[in-house]
């Protein structure tokens, strides 16, 4: 592993494991074995232990008496996450309007929608999922409010873990794209109530599809 400049080894290991979880390379419920990780990454156990402790604090990992494993989200947690993301997106839009950034937000949404369309056309599911999440996050990112941005980034980290644990089919990718196209059009037309309803419907449908794909009811 190559150490990045201005980043400690402990930070590098933490980011590596975290990224592996977010990308679905390490799945929900999968055990984390420190000795194996140390051997795989060619480092001592100390930075591995530090990374695991930080990921436990982040609630990306959990442990019982015998093992450490990637956190498994309950139905209740998924529902609360959905509510939190919806609230943050709607608040972000209102703040963008108050700050006179509605037009720049629309331009950002257009760019994200193009990226999502391009990913679908070449069959790149990972890029499509990333672009789809970036579309939703844009409502908050455009506010440039660091506190709101930190919250939405954390929420979408958890959402990304859910999404990474199933393989979305082509139909679902197109549904997400069409949802975003409708949301963008409502934003352009300044149909606020319509846009908010579409956002809530989109996020609810997305979480329901995830639950179905990973065997939840």
Domain with CATH 1.10.10.10 in the chain: 9-70
Per-residue model confidence (pLDDT) at position 169: 55
Task: State both tokens at 147.
Answer: 């506190």
For residues 94 and 63, give the distance between their C-alpha atoms in angstroms, rounded to a whole number.
40
Per-residue model confidence (pLDDT) at position 200: 96
For residues 45 and 32, give the distance between their C-alpha atoms in angstroms, rounded to a whole number.
13
Domain with CATH 1.20.120.530 in the chain: 75-213
The string of pLDDT tens digits covering residues 173-202 is 778 899 999 999 999 999 999 999 999 999
The domain 75-213 having CATH identifier 1.10.10.10: the answer here is no
Cβ atoms of residues 72 and 84 within 8 Å: no
> CATH top-level class for 9-70?
mainly alpha
For residues 213 and 207, give the distance between their C-alpha atoms in angstroms, rounded to a whole number.
10
For residues 202 and 86, give the distance between their C-alpha atoms in angstroms, rounded to a whole number.
10
Per-residue model confidence (pLDDT) at position 214: 60
Which of 41, 88, 30, 91 is closest to 63 using CA atoms?
Answer: 30
Place 2 in a pLDDT band, splitting at 50, 70 and 90.
very low
The string of pLDDT tens digits covering residues 23-68 is 888 888 899 999 999 999 999 999 999 999 999 998 899 998 889 9
The string of pLDDT tens digits covering residues 151-176 is 999 999 888 887 766 555 555 677 88
Grouping H, G, I as helix, E, B as strand and the rest as coil, residue 67 is coil
Query: Is the per-residue pLDDT at 134 higher than 50?
Result: yes
Per-residue model confidence (pLDDT) at position 141: 97
Query: Is the per-residue pLDDT at 79 higher than 80?
Result: yes
The torsion angle over the Cα atoms of residues 78, 80, 82 and 88, rounded to 10 degrees, is -140
Q: How far is CA 174 from the centre of its chain?
A: 19
């Amino acid at each position: 592993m190559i150490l990045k400049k201005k980043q400690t080894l402990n930070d590098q290991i933490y980011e590596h494991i975290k990224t592996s979880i977010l990308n679905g390379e390490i799945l929900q419920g999968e055990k984390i074995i420190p000795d194996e990780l140390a051997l795989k990454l060619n480092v001592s156990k100390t930075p591995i232990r530090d990374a695991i402790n930080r990921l436990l604090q982040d609630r990306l990992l959990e442990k019982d008496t015998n093992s450490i494993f990637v956190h498994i989200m309950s139905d209740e947690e998924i529902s609360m996450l959905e509510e939190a993301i919806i609230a943050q997106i709607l608040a972000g839009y209102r703040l963008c309007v108050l700050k006179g950034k509605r037009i720049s937000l629309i331009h950002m949404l257009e760019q994200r929608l193009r990226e999502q369309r391009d990913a679908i056309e070449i069959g790149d599911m990972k890029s499509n999922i990333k672009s789809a999440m970036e579309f939703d996050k844009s409502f908050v990112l455009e506010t440039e409010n660091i506190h709101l941005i930190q919250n939405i980034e954390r929420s979408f980290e958890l959402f990304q873990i859910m999404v990474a644990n199933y393989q979305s089919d082509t139909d679902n990718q197109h549904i997400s794209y069409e949802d975003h196209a409708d949301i963008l059009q409502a934003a352009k037309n300044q149909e606020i109530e319509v846009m908010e309803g579409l956002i809530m419907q989109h996020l609810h449908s997305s979480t329901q599809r995830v639950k179905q794909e990973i065997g939840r009811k």
